[in-house]
Amino acid sequence: MAKIYFKSPYFRIKNNMRNEFRYNILATIACIVWASAFPAAKVGFEYLPPIFLSGIRFTLAGLILAPFLIKRKVDWRDFKRQGGYILFFAFFQTFLQYYFFYTGLIRIPAEVGAVLVGLGPIFVAILAHIFIGGRDRMSLRKIIAIVLGFSGVAYLSFSKGLEIENAGADFYIGVLCVVTSCLIGCVTNIIVVKRKKHLDHVALNTFSCFLGGLMLTAISLFLEPQEIANIKPLPMDFYFAMIWLAGIPALGFSIWYYLLSRPQIIVSEINIIKFLIPVFGVILSWIIVEGENPNFTTVIGVVIISVAIIIIQLPERKKIK
């Protein structure tokens, strides 16, 4: 006798809540992984010039991901047809974004760089409202969370600029470069969402890291020839930092592109979780980077950003007709 199953709305709601919780956990893991790049990069800067370090990092990340493509059912014919898009994505997502990121990070403290990346959710929310619409349109809850998050980021950035002795044009050039990098990264989020049905997210990340890493390495030979020629024998702590730096894009972007490929994901809301990057980045910088310590200003900024995260996680009130 055939069994009869009843599809209850309760179970659909329960499954949706379970999926949402899982997606939030994955997004938080990606943010922790990305946040760890700030102190790890500062360790790497002690031994290699920034653009060269970035190039080696992403080339290695692509090589780390390559074996995972063997077991994935990737439509390689479609991949070949979209070769131009993949090259464009590698140039935009890896080369251009991280050229500005590392050019800026060398000029500012790691904790300031971590805080500036908190501007990402604001850029994504605005771009998603314009280019995606639907569930990604602005709401009062999103606007409040964005304003609070931006306030925390702005408060931390300017207060840190005032705290740093002789924080002249070089400091603010670094801030501008990191903000530009952040904006480029947000544009690529929108691109991935708009084309999520076309390419496997792990394959896209693999080629983006590898090709973008080669581009960064190549340009560093022209921009940093003297620094590269003067590289000294590297100690063990550099290799630990480099392995971790290479693993960050391999893991972080693979998780993030997976999330963006899910139909249930609202890109503007999942990106607001990126406000956690400044929180974790600042804390990890305090722990790892010598000379960076907690103070009242930073704690207040982190608290403001945390409140923004809590607000975006509150359920929307539905109007009763």
- Name the more confident of 56 and 267: 56
Task: Return phi, psi of residue 54, to 5°.
Answer: -65, -40
Query: What mean pLDDT do residues 150-173 have?
Result: 70
Residue 102 CA to residue 226 CA, distance in Å, equals 18
How much is the pLDDT for 14? 45
Asked if residue 285 belongs to a domain, the reply is yes
pLDDT value of position 213: 94
pLDDT, one tens digit per residue, over 95-121 is 999 999 888 888 887 767 777 777 777
Residue 276, pLDDT above cutoff 90: no
Q: Give me the pLDDT at residue 74, please.
A: 66
pTM listed for this prediction: 0.75
Q: For residue 145, is it within any domain?
A: yes
Within a domain: 321: no
* Three-state secondary structure of 68-133: HHCCCCCCHHHHHHCHHHHHHHHHHHHHHHHHHHHHHHCCCCHHHHHHHHHHHHHHHHHHHHHHCC
In a domain, 6, yes or no: no
Does any domain span residue 213? yes
Please provide the average confidence, as pLDDT, over all residues in the chain: 77
Count Cα neighbours of 147 within 13 Å in the Cβ-side half-sphere. Answer: 7
Instruction: Read off φ and ψ for residue 250, nearest 5 degrees.
Output: -60, -45
Could you report the per-residue pLDDT of 121-146, keeping only the tens digit for each?
777 777 777 777 666 677 777 788 77
18 within some domain: no
Q: What residue numbers bound the domain in which 278 lies?
A: 31-313
Confidence of residue 28 (pLDDT cuts 50, 70, 90): confident
Count of domains forming the chain? 1
Q: Which residue has the higher pLDDT, 49 or 291?
A: 49
**Cα 266 to Cα 283: distance, rounded to the nearest angstrom:** 28
Average pLDDT over residues 72-99: 81
**In this predicted structure, what is the pLDDT of residue 316?**
57
Q: What is the pLDDT of residues 178-206, one digit of tens each?
A: 889 988 988 887 887 777 666 677 788 88
- Predicted local confidence at residue 93, as pLDDT: 87
Say whether pLDDT at 25 is over 80.
Answer: yes
The more confidently predicted of residues 159 and 61 is 61
pLDDT of 210 higher than 90:
yes
* Residue 10 is assigned to a structural domain of this protein: no
Please indicate whether residue 97 or residue 264 has the higher confidence score (pLDDT). Answer: 97
pLDDT for position 96: 93
Average of per-residue pLDDT across 235-263? 82
pLDDT greater than 90 at residue 218? yes
Q: Among 46-60, 109-123, 199-213, 305-319, where is mean pLDDT lowest? A: 305-319
State the pLDDT at residue 12: 39
The percentage of residues in the chain with a pLDDT greater than 90, rounded to a whole number, is 12
Which tokens hold the place of 108?
Answer: 């500012």
Cβ neighbours of residue 237 closer than 8 Å, sequence gap 6 or more: 43
pLDDT at 8: 39
Rounded to a whole number of angstroms, the distance between the first and last alpha carbons of the chain is 44
pLDDT (0 to 100) of residue 167: 60
Give the mean pLDDT of 216-232: 91
> 């970035």: which residue's tokens?
54
Residue 284: predicted pLDDT: 78
Q: Is residue 252 part of a domain?
A: yes
Does the structure show a pLDDT above 70 at 222? yes
Look at residue 10 in the predicted model and tell me its pLDDT. 34
205 or 54: which leads in pLDDT: 54
